[in-house]
Amino acid sequence: MDPVCLSEPPRRDHDTFANSSLFSAVAPSDRGGGAVNGEYQGIGEDQNFGLDRAVGRFQARLSESQVGEDGFFESDAPLIAVVLGSGLGGLAESIESPTVIRYDSLPGLAGSTAAGHRGEFLVGRMHSVRVIAMAGRLHAYEGHSIDQLTRPMALMAAMKPDAVIVSCAAGGLNPRYRVGDVVLIDEHLSLLHGQMGAFGSDLHLMRKQVPDESWSQRGFANAHRCGRSTCDDAFVQAAGRAARDGGFRLQSGTYLAVSGPNYETRAECRMMKHWGADLVGMSTVPEVALASRSGLRTLAIGVVTNMAIPDAPAVAAHDDVLAVSNAAGEKLELIVREIARSLAAEQESMR
């Protein structure tokens, strides 16, 4: 779940710092993750995770499927990678005869346990473009480290997509937003596991690519953003066209990622607004950051599932989050279709 904020906390212990959504993750006794000697350990942490092995298994499964027989790998049609957040799986219905591959069927990847997240890759075609979609994602509150929860994105990045579109459900902190608004995430903050920024599953790739002692200097050089946007200008323009043609509101703003799993208290919402956050959720940033470090063109999109206004009493419920997200699925599809058209036009102009 990619959440929202409680204007009225359901119980008083949410007001304590130790139980706040800002820095908490699932306790070790609940999920098998947690802090050990000051360092976060995920469920079944696999320090020997091999991306090459996971990609090889993934490609082998595709080759044996109808998608592979239809020339998916040989096609020069644009390839779009999409992450479908809480309740946004409706877009998956637009993928034609998809091949379904569960995350946990691939070495080193875990299954999703969150409501509204299927934990599957869907591979196929949509409106003449090739699509790899993550139907659901992994979260820190499920007990996963940043390394583990970015492995599905690392696998998609290894396929060298022409575009990466990451979607999520989020709570709106900006009073100009309305429930159901689509927000382009043009900046982000991250406090997942109480850390401001962290490497994902691409860290071992940097070590592999630069094995000598200079790897830290040369490898980290690509990690520092140096002003590089994670919001592709051409994709932003395409999203704007989709919004105008589809008649829906399109906003932009800063997204704050926290660990969860509980929704935020009113005091936390006030603090988040003071920090400059327009949206709050429990995902997205690690995936976008990994895709950007991989040199891929990205666009992150948040759907406002409720207004997290501290002084307007309202209780957020996950069923409401899913309902609003489901209704926003058509808007997301319009954006994906317009980006696909823009990629096809770019490709044609280069011939």
Residue 196 included in any domain: yes
Q: How many CB atoms lie within 10 A of CB 71?
A: 10
Q: What is the DSSP string of 181-213?
A: -EEEEEEEEE-GGG-SS---TTHHHHHHHS-ST
Mean pLDDT of 37-45: 40
Residue 286 included in any domain: yes
What pLDDT was estimated at residue 271?
A: 94
Residue 43 included in any domain: no
CA angle (81 as vertex; 78, 85 as ends), nearest 5: 145
What pLDDT was estimated at residue 71?
A: 87
Residue 16 included in any domain: yes
328 pLDDT band, cuts 50/70/90, is confident
Measured distance CA(254)–CA(273) in Å, rounded: 10
Residue 6 included in any domain: no
Sign of CA dihedral 218, 222, 225, 228: positive
Domain of 171? 12-33+48-349
Q: pLDDT digits over 261-290, tens only?
A: 888 888 999 999 999 999 999 999 999 999
The percent of residues above 90 in pLDDT, for the chain, comes to: 40
What pLDDT was estimated at residue 123?
A: 95
Measured distance CA(267)–CA(7) in Å, rounded: 9
112 pLDDT band, cuts 50/70/90, is confident
Residue 38 included in any domain: no
**Token pair 């895709």 in the structure block, residue:** 291
From 120, 103, 107, select the one nearest 46 (Cα to Cα): 107
Q: How many domains does the chain have?
A: 1
Residue 167 included in any domain: yes
CATH number, residue 108: 3.40.50.1580
Whether the pLDDT of residue 214 is over 90: the answer is no
Q: Going along 247-347, which residue ranges are E strands?
A: 250-257, 279-281, 298-307
What pLDDT was estimated at residue 7?
A: 36
What pLDDT was estimated at residue 24?
A: 46
Measured distance CA(339)–CA(333) in Å, rounded: 10
Residue 42 included in any domain: no
